[in-house]
Structures are given as C-alpha cells and as structure tokens.
Structure 1
Amino acid sequence: MSARDNILAKLRHSLQGTTPLADHYDEALVTEPWTYATSERLARLKTLMEAVHTEVHVTQAATWPALLTELLAQRSISSLLVAPGSEHGQQLAAYLGEGPSLQLKAYDRPVEQWKQELFDNTPASLTSTLGAIAATGSLVLWPTREEPRLMSLVPPLHVALLKASQVYDNFYSVQRQQGWASGMPTNALLISGPSKTADIEQVLAYGAHGPKDLIVLIVEDQ
C-alpha cells in the first residue's frame, strides 16, 4: 500500500467509534443582525457601494440601454464587451440598431486567441448579476460560458446590471432563496466596488488588480 493509500485509509477510519455532535446551528446569528425592511435594502446597497467609489444609477427596464450609452459616451468609450446571446445583450443590440453608434464585442473564443485585444483594446464590459447583498454592499456574480469571469475582471470599466427585486438582506438569504445547495457554481464572485489596493505607505490606488471603475445599473421592476 502506498503512502497516499495509507493516509486516505487513516482518514476514512478516523471517525469510527465516535458520535457526531448535534447540529446546534442558529440561523438567527447570520440573519437577524443583517435583516432590513424591504424599503431600506436598495438605499443601503447604494450607500455602501457609493462609499467605495462605485457609480450607481437606478433606471427602468426599457431605458437602461439609453442610460448606458450616455454614460459610455461621456467617457469617450466606443466599444463594449457583452454577451450577445443574453437577454440584456439582445436588448442593447436592438437599441443600438436604431441609432447610437457603439461597437459590441463578444467573448466568443478562447482567451488565448485574443488575449492582447482583451487586455489592451477592450475598455469596458457589461455583465448581468445574480443579485446583491444589502448587508455588505456587494454584487453577486456567477460567471458562465456566455459571461466568463474575465469579463468582470479585465476591462478598466465594468458595468453591472442588477434587478431591484434581487437585492437580498444578507449572503445567507441569497444562498437559501436561490437554492445554492442544489447546485453550486464553479466560481462565485462577490464584488463590492472597483479594484483597489494600498502599498506599504497606505496610499490607496484603484485598478491595480481589476477594473478601476464600476457602474451599477439597478433596474426597477415594472
């Protein structure tokens, strides 16, 4: 038997003859201190995110493409990385077909085939979100084949779409109400603001390890 097999065998038999401890997990410990009135969640999320240099706009389902186009034009950004097959990608493409000029890029090939363009010539990206957490002021993202993780990590400007109805009290509520236990993602991201870091002199710098700007478009339900 190899050393690896010996170690695994010991682990498998280490609990023999023991009695499992009763589960005294108290759900209230992670929910009650971080529970808010429905009317307060959105305001708290906005306050916390704006405190760390996130730009937050509340908009409508029919008007967010116009707002997004305006915000990009103000920054002289002429191209945007987006998932064209997504509902929001199709809505944006339909809006742009009626007038405003904005080049839409698709993440439709392995990163090795267009790494230089992605890192050097892709100024902004648009992604969906799974929801947000009022307690910490965080967005929740599950990267997918359509929207890989690098879409929210590489471009200097990340624009995130968030449904107002998907702002939850706390992280525990997100997991329970969305049924994470039945199917965890391979990767989950919690984003509370633009990328930032501080050197040994504690000088705060943005954009060192990801986007230096984050815009959140909160889409109210109609």
Structure 2
Amino acid sequence: MSAKQNILGKLRKSLTGTTPIADNFDVDLVTQPYTYSAEQRIPQLRKLMEAVHTEIHLTSGAEWPVLLAQLLRDRQLPSLLIAPTTPHGQRIAQHWANNPELPELKSYDRPMEAWKAELFNDTPASLTGTLGAIAATGSLIIWPTREEPRLMSLVPPVHFALLKASEIRDNFYQVQQEFEWAQGMPTNALLVSGPSKTADIEQVLAYGAHGPKDLVVLILEDQ
C-alpha cells in the first residue's frame, strides 16, 4: 500500500460512526451585505480599484477608441498589442486605419514561441476585453481565450482593459451562479484588482515585478 492510500484509508476509517454536519449555508450572509444598486456599482468598483493604483476612465461604446488613443499618446507608448479577431480588436484596427499617426498596432496572431523576445522585451502595452467585474471586491474578471491568451494581460508593462458597465456584478457568489462554475470550473479565470505589486523583506512596495505595472480600465457606460 502506498503512502497516499495509507493516509486516505486512515481518514476514511476515522469517519466511521460519525454523523455528517448539516449544510446550513446561508446565501444571504454572502450576498446581502454586498448588494448594490445600478447607481452604486461603478462608484464602489472605482473606489476599491483606485485604492490599489488602478486607473479608471468612464467612456462610451462610441468614444472609447479615441480615449485609448489619447492615453497612449499621453504615456508616449510606441505600440499597442491587440487580439485582431476580437470585436474590440477589429474596432481598434478600424480606428487606427483612419488615423495613421497613432502608435503602431501589434497583433497577437502567432504562437508565442515565434516572437517571445519581442513580446517580453519590446511590447509596452496591450488591450484586452473582460468578462465583467465584481463591485464588492473591486475586481475585473479576465477570461483568457485562444484569441486573447493570458500573456496579453500578464506580460506588457501597461494593460488596458475594456469593461462594460452592464457587466459589473455585485459579488463573487453572483458570478459563480451566473456562469454555473459549480458545474465545472473554467480552466483559467483571473480576478484582477490592480497592477502587479510585491514587497521585499523591508516591506517596500514595488509595482510591475510579476506583471503589468499599470492597469488602466475603460468603463463603457450604457447608452
């Protein structure tokens, strides 16, 4: 018998004759204190995310490409990485085509191994979509896909994220229920509240050590 089987056997034996504890989970305890009106969700999310150095901008579905272009110019960023086959990637490509003076667009359209050095050393910013956000914790829900892999939100020093106001949920429980995560967890769902940060043994906070040093969220308000 292996060590693992031995341990599991002891655990099962220890349960002999015991009575299972009743499941008295109270949904209200994890939802009622963290429920917000439509008018409260954006301010709540913004308060928590700005507290950890996330930059928030309110815009619209029509104007966000113009705002993004201005933010890139303000930071003097020479290029932006996009997923060209996503709706927002196509929208950016169209806007850039009409404004040739804007920073270079890079497309994530090849295997990472084919351009690893350029991705890690010469790609200053990226744009991704989001699955939504959680007002109670001030978190974005980022759902990497084949079109928009995790490295897009992890490697470039500046990460721009698009968030629809209508997709801000109240709390994590609501997200789990809506997407039925109990039936099967996603392989790679990310909850992101701010830029990457860490502290050394002297507790000196540093940004960008393990990911983007700047997180910029464009919230698209409903029309």
TM-score by length of 1: 0.91
CA distance in 2, matches of 1:141, 1:16: 44
CA distance in 1, matches of 2:202, 2:44: 31
Structure 2 residue ranges without an equivalent (≥5): none
* Letter matched to residue 146 of structure 1: E
Q: Equivalences for 1:1-222 in 2 at 5 Å?
A: 3=2, 6-7=5-6, 10=9, 20-100=20-100, 101-222=102-223
Q: Judge conservation of contact 2:84–2:109 (CA < 8 Å) in 1.
A: no
After superposition, give the CA deviation of every residue in 1:43-73 in whole Å (9 maximum; x if it has no partner): 0111111111111001000110110011001
CA distance in 2, matches of 1:143, 1:19: 42
Any idea what SS the aligned residue of 2:59 has? strand
Deviation at 1:93, TM superposition (A): 0.7
CA distance in 2, matches of 1:24, 1:106: 50
Any idea what SS the aligned residue of 1:129 has? coil
Structure 1 residue ranges without an equivalent (≥5): none
CA distance in 2, matches of 1:196, 1:32: 31
Deviation at 1:78, TM superposition (A): 2.3
* Letter matched to residue 3 of structure 1: S
Identity %: 63
CA distance in 1, matches of 2:155, 2:19: 49
Deviation at 1:122, TM superposition (A): 0.3
Deviation at 1:19, TM superposition (A): 5.5
* Letter matched to residue 202 of structure 1: Q
Deviation at 1:17, TM superposition (A): 7.2
Any idea what SS the aligned residue of 1:31 has? helix
Deviation at 1:205, TM superposition (A): 1.0
* Letter matched to residue 115 of structure 1: K
After superposition, give the CA deviation of every residue in 1:183-211 in whole Å (9 maximum; x if it has no partner): 42111111111111111222111111110
Distance 1:71 1:4, change over 3 A: same
Deviation at 1:12, TM superposition (A): 11
After superposition, give the CA deviation of every residue in 1:137-166 in whole Å (9 maximum; x if it has no partner): 111111111111111111000000000001
After superposition, give the CA deviation of every residue in 1:111-145 in whole Å (9 maximum; x if it has no partner): 22211111100000101111111111111111111
Deviation at 1:33, TM superposition (A): 1.6
Q: More deviation in 207-216 or 21-30?
A: 21-30
Q: More deviation in 12-21 or 110-119?
A: 12-21
Deviation at 1:7, TM superposition (A): 5.0
The count of corresponding residues between Structure 1 and Structure 2 is 221
